[in-house]
Amino acid sequence: MAPVSDVDQQTSNAVAKEHTAAITRDYISQPRITYRTVSGVNGPLVILDNVKFPKFAEIVTLTLSDGSKRSGQVLEVSGSKAVVQVFEGTSGIDAKHTTCEFTGDILRTPVSEDMLGRVFNGSGKAIDRGPSVLAEDFLDIMGQPINPWSRIYPEEMIQTGISAIDTMN
């Protein structure tokens, strides 16, 4: 019997070959493995089984039986299972006929200096009836965490008016 690390390496190599074949076949460098392994739908969540190397926060494209597409984001990963939150809702998603494709990318939002002073919804789409904004760059919506050691230590107390919070300052 082969050690676990050898089995993991063999599985990893098999997946890499499958991705390489997809790239060669389609002449583009994005994953093309399509899964038909929806095991359940609960509210805005879709549970996928038997998926290879799903990544947290990865964007997923779901294709419904009528050909319409919906996108979602991986919220939880447990081995070969993934829980995906569908952005456009889950009505009409059939576990037997819905296909799923992992994009290999995370959710990004377009940014530009033209966005200053504008009003946007939670998805980054303009809702102020202004002109379209051309993106200068696309940034990860998660951003970068703030390093507490590199920031300036606050010298003045911020009074909130809530005694339980103010005594902790």
Q: How confident is the model at residue 4 (pLDDT cuts 50, 70, 90)?
A: very low
Residue 86 has pLDDT above 90, yes or no: yes
CATH topology of domain 33-106: Elongation Factor Tu (Ef-tu); domain 3 (2.40.30)
Q: Where are the CATH 2.40.30.20 domain residues in the chain?
A: 33-106
In percent, the amount of the chain with pLDDT more than 70 equals 83
What pLDDT is stored for residue 23 in this prediction? 54
Q: How far apart are CA 64 and CA 37, in angstroms?
A: 13
> Which uninterrupted H or E stretch holds 70?
strand 69-78
What DSSP letter does each residue of 32-54 carry, written as one string? Answer: --EE--EEEEETTEEEE-S-SS-
